[in-house]
Structure 1
Amino acid sequence: MRNQASSSDITGTADDDETDLITLGRRVRHARGAAGLTLDRLGEQVGAAASLLSLIENGRREPKLSLLKSIAAALGLSLNDLLDPEPPSRRAALEIALDRAQRGPLFAGLGLPAVKPSQKLPTPVLEQLVGLHEEIARRAQEAIATPEEARRANTELRLERQARDNYFPQFETLAEELVRGAGYAGGALTHRTVAVLAERLGFTILHVSDLPRSARTVTDLHSGRIYLPLASVPGGHGLRSLALQAIAHRVLEHERPRTYAEFLRQRVEITYFAAACLVPQSAAVPFLAERKRERDLAVEDFRDAFGVTHEAAAMRLTNLATVKLGVPLHFLRVGDDGALFRGYENDGLRFPRDATGAIEGQLVCRRWAAREAFARRDVATEYYQYTDTPAGTYWCSTQTGSGDTGAFSITVGVPYAHAKWFRGRDTQVRKVSTCPDPACCSRPAPELAERWSGAAWPSARMHQQVLAALPRGAFPGVDDAEVYAFLDRHAPSDDPSE
């Protein structure tokens, strides 16, 4: 372990002035020990109380320059020797690192008693304590970098799903068994069937008005209760889907996520499982196959037949279309600002990507149907468009909607050769996109650039969430204190935890 690392690598725990005092104190203690002097004896020589010298050695009192000169002289050192910012020994560096860590907010948040880094503390124990504090600091720093970590994990998951055509047969089979066992016979899965499915697994579904803001659902494993909101969020997950996702954690035998990547993978799995329950494969595939034979495939019909949201139907189509119908496709959810919120493709469409390969937050071409649809007046029906791109020509069907985060569009598209299976293929709307060439839609017109370059100073709309780390807790983004207080309010009187 480097001396420098021991005293400075545990970042964010103490300011530089305080660290300098700690280093100064350790140099005084080290030199006093080398000189064979006790605190009382040194105090007698410099005219200071032993208690004051102890505070100085522990970095808790800044000595006057005159006293510091007297201490240096009594110890046979120059003033510069005492003021050297480097710890005098590896042992001193460890003591400084431990002292500094225990004075910071990370340690304070643990609620643990401090360990005095005295000479009596064995060096191996000191090394272990410093190592633990460094790991705590590393994990805190990692939490701050969660957005970047999430983008990497999302990219890996997207590529994995692409490689398997977004089809997970094990989840299909499990979902089919459970819904059939709960009484499903076809059509839309009812709330009653979801409740029966939950009961067969030992859970009761309850709707509450005070669900913690940081959680979509809360499951009480002691009493077998699944708490849901009173109503679903417009444009978001329906109540049946939320209940099924909560159930999925138990059915799929998930454990508490150890990494953010594991948390995201669990989200993908529970979302897939819920979709496979709401739109069972045994009913969905014959429905889609019949529509394909009739050359009348439409997301809106698929949506209405199973009583799910347009986005859920579009995403479910990505699970089944390629493996069961032989149709490659792409899916996009795009905000009205053009930012790609979620995307999937196995048909060669080139999504915009950042340097890491992540697509989330990237602006899609203004010529794509996902953005052109916002400009039309009739928003009640699907919008159809052919788009010529550098990767080929694609046909797309887009539906717009709005939610708490604003307007958005849901797009399902296929290569030109597969448009023949879909309703809306006869559209005469055709656009040309040459993105990522900036001349396509991101570069301003030359005359406008000449007029306004250097004269425009817009105030950007800032999304503060991009700067915030997710709250720390057993589950990323969930406030443990809020959740536990909620469970305590709703716990039945015979709850085993009481």
Structure 2
Amino acid sequence: MPSTSIELSTLGHRIRHQRVSRGYTLDELGELVGVAGSQLSLIENGKREPKLSLLQAIAGATGVEVTDLLSNEPPNRRAALEIELERAQSSSVFHQLGIPAVRVTKGISDEAIEAILGLHRELQRREREAIATPEEARRANTELRLMMRERNNYRPDIEQLAEKQLKAAGHVSGALTHRSVSLMAEQLGFELLYVSDLPHSARSVTDIEHGRIYLPPASIPGGHGLRSMALQAMAHRLLGHERPTDYADFLQQRLEINYYAACCLMPEAASVAFLAQAKKDRNLAVEDFRDAFGVTHEAAGMRLTNLLTTHFGIPLHFLRVDGSGAISRVFENDDLPVPRDVTGSVEGQIVCRKWSARAAFSEQNRTTEHYQYTDTPAGTYWCSTQTGSTSDGEFSITVGVPFDDAKWFRGRESVTRAVSTCPDESCCRRPPAEVAARWQGKAWPSARVHMQMFSPLPRGAFPGVDDNEVYAFLDRHA
């Protein structure tokens, strides 16, 4: 039986629709089913919930099934508008305004209700924007990360889509060429154009009307290659993305386009075959995987998170850490004790100084991978870390596995070993007692303030993108 006000409203509209269709007045139908017309009026207006026996009587008198009356679908457009308006006027956002609700009568036209609903939709949109705080973003990102952890970071639907598109473009093996990417765009009805005046807030812009994808003339520092950016732009169309409804939707779309690009640059079938041979040789290595497909070290490391658990049963972790030790990108399904804040978010947290993700910064030779075993409260892990730098500073890329799975990887013979007891603060966060005693009260550092900590998330359907810039850019190139 219906119970919520909206469900009762829908039921009432369906009963009224059947009554009017049969030409009955309230009193006439009431006489047929044994209740007063005033009682039926309360039911039709969603003010009272009818008993099942009365519903059966109404269904019999109007020649329909009870299930027809209980359907959640409004019986007509007018009913749908009235139900949506009732829902909007019962929201907490509307109540906070202190404005009396509009009472719908027969004299109010459908167009008038549509106009009122338009205002309510804009009110809801602005409310969603207002709550897109940094904390809201962290929570949305954490939920997405945990969901992908449950899936072992594997999306078979996107894997299959990428294989289909690659086959259609004639790509068989080896690194995906820029020409193949252009062919994939042409098959979608798009031309790739490289311009030097892209809006500063956008990595690419797609002109859907004229079938153009605008890209920068050179790769963006930090590993965003032109092939990847073009594939990501195409992915929005292939995956049927609409304008994001909230920040969680925006993050979900970003994950999916990144995943699609990775699947195209490192196709599943070829990647699994490569990794299977490397595992057989006990010579799995991120750098070999990277070089075989002509991608960045970070891209190869992340692609391992998609494939190693699903195809080889190997749990693992991936970390991108900046020079200060803060995590900027993470995946783990091997129970590595990564630091978390009160929301469960990992990004921005500082990793232990003993982990190879930070220890590698002190290595003299930065051109090769750094291998290390680390004892943690959750067990011993083997890790491979490569460092790099961008205009924003240093970073490290780490891929690691539990001790028992190190046997499949190059670098397992490493004698470098560390012990981490984090999150125990005595591990690396608290200074030694004798040092603290010497300097307590005798030092006053001037803290570096990161201005982004005061900034709300950018407004707009695509966070961080300036619509004015984008539309002015499209006008210049139309």
Per the normalisation by structure 1, the TM-score is: 0.71
Matched, 1:298 2:288: no
Partner in structure 2 of residue 328 of structure 1: 315
Partner in structure 2 of residue 281 of structure 1: 268
RMSD: 2.3
Matched, 1:441 2:406: no
Unaligned stretches of 5+ in structure 1?
A: 1-93, 100-123, 492-498
Change in Cα spacing, 1:458 to 1:270, as seen in structure 2 (3 Å) is: same
**Moved segments of 4+, more than 4 Å:** 127-137
User: Separation in 1 of the partners of 2:354 and 2:323?
Assistant: 13
1:393 counterpart (370, 380, 389): 380
**SS of the counterpart of 2:258?**
helix
**SS of the counterpart of 1:156?**
helix
The alpha carbon displacement at 1:138 in A equals 3.8
User: Separation in 2 of the partners of 1:453 and 1:239?
Assistant: 52
Matched, 1:181 2:168: yes
User: Separation in 2 of the partners of 1:154 and 1:133?
Assistant: 25
Kindly indicate whether the alpha-carbon contact (under 8 Å) linking 1:98 and 1:129 is maintained by their aligned counterparts in 2: no
Partner in structure 1 of residue 64 of structure 2: none
The alpha carbon displacement at 1:473 in A equals 2.2
User: Separation in 1 of the partners of 2:323 and 2:391?
Assistant: 13
Aligned length: 370
TM-superposition CA deviations, 1:20-70 (whole Å, max 9, x none): xxxxxxxxxxxxxxxxxxxxxxxxxxxxxxxxxxxxxxxxxxxxxxxxxxx
Partner in structure 2 of residue 41 of structure 1: none
**SS of the counterpart of 1:216?**
coil
Partner in structure 1 of residue 79 of structure 2: none
Kindly indicate whether the alpha-carbon contact (under 8 Å) linking 1:235 and 1:401 is maintained by their aligned counterparts in 2: no
- Counterpart of 1:217, as a letter, is S
User: Separation in 1 of the partners of 2:197 and 2:125?
Assistant: 33
- Counterpart of 2:130, as a letter, is Q
1:215 counterpart (182, 195, 202): 202
TM-superposition CA deviations, 1:287-328 (whole Å, max 9, x none): 000000000000000000000000000000000001111211
Kindly indicate whether the alpha-carbon contact (under 8 Å) linking 1:189 and 1:306 is maintained by their aligned counterparts in 2: yes
Partner in structure 2 of residue 371 of structure 1: 358
Kindly indicate whether the alpha-carbon contact (under 8 Å) linking 1:182 and 1:196 is maintained by their aligned counterparts in 2: yes
Partner in structure 1 of residue 442 of structure 2: 455
1:79-478 equivalences in 2 (<5 Å): 138-139=127-128, 141-143=130-132, 145=133, 147-478=134-465
TM-superposition CA deviations, 1:51-104 (whole Å, max 9, x none): xxxxxxxxxxxxxxxxxxxxxxxxxxxxxxxxxxxxxxxxxxx9xx799xxxxx
User: Separation in 1 of the partners of 2:456 and 2:421?
Assistant: 36
TM-superposition CA deviations, 1:236-261 (whole Å, max 9, x none): 21110000000000000000000000
Kindly indicate whether the alpha-carbon contact (under 8 Å) linking 2:388 and 2:396 is maintained by their aligned counterparts in 1: yes
Change in Cα spacing, 1:451 to 1:283, as seen in structure 2 (3 Å) is: same
Unaligned stretches of 5+ in structure 2?
A: 1-93, 100-112
User: Separation in 2 of the partners of 1:130 and 1:256?
Assistant: 19
The alpha carbon displacement at 1:471 in A equals 2.8
User: Separation in 2 of the partners of 1:216 and 1:443?
Assistant: 41
- Counterpart of 2:139, as a letter, is R
Partner in structure 1 of residue 44 of structure 2: none
Per the normalisation by structure 2, the TM-score is: 0.74
User: Separation in 1 of the partners of 2:380 and 2:137?
Assistant: 32
The alpha carbon displacement at 1:428 in A equals 0.5
Change in Cα spacing, 1:294 to 1:478, as seen in structure 2 (3 Å) is: same
Kindly indicate whether the alpha-carbon contact (under 8 Å) linking 2:129 and 2:246 is maintained by their aligned counterparts in 1: no
The alpha carbon displacement at 1:381 in A equals 0.4
**SS of the counterpart of 1:171?**
helix
**SS of the counterpart of 1:397?**
strand
Partner in structure 2 of residue 487 of structure 1: 474
Change in Cα spacing, 1:342 to 1:133, as seen in structure 2 (3 Å) is: closer
Kindly indicate whether the alpha-carbon contact (under 8 Å) linking 1:385 and 1:397 is maintained by their aligned counterparts in 2: yes
**SS of the counterpart of 1:161?**
helix
Change in Cα spacing, 1:137 to 1:319, as seen in structure 2 (3 Å) is: closer
**SS of the counterpart of 1:324?**
helix
The alpha carbon displacement at 1:188 in A equals 0.5
Kindly indicate whether the alpha-carbon contact (under 8 Å) linking 2:129 and 2:460 is maintained by their aligned counterparts in 1: no
The alpha carbon displacement at 1:132 in A equals 8.2
The percentage of aligned residue pairs carrying the same residue is 64
Kindly indicate whether the alpha-carbon contact (under 8 Å) linking 1:219 and 1:246 is maintained by their aligned counterparts in 2: yes
Kindly indicate whether the alpha-carbon contact (under 8 Å) linking 2:204 and 2:233 is maintained by their aligned counterparts in 1: yes
- Counterpart of 1:246, as a letter, is A
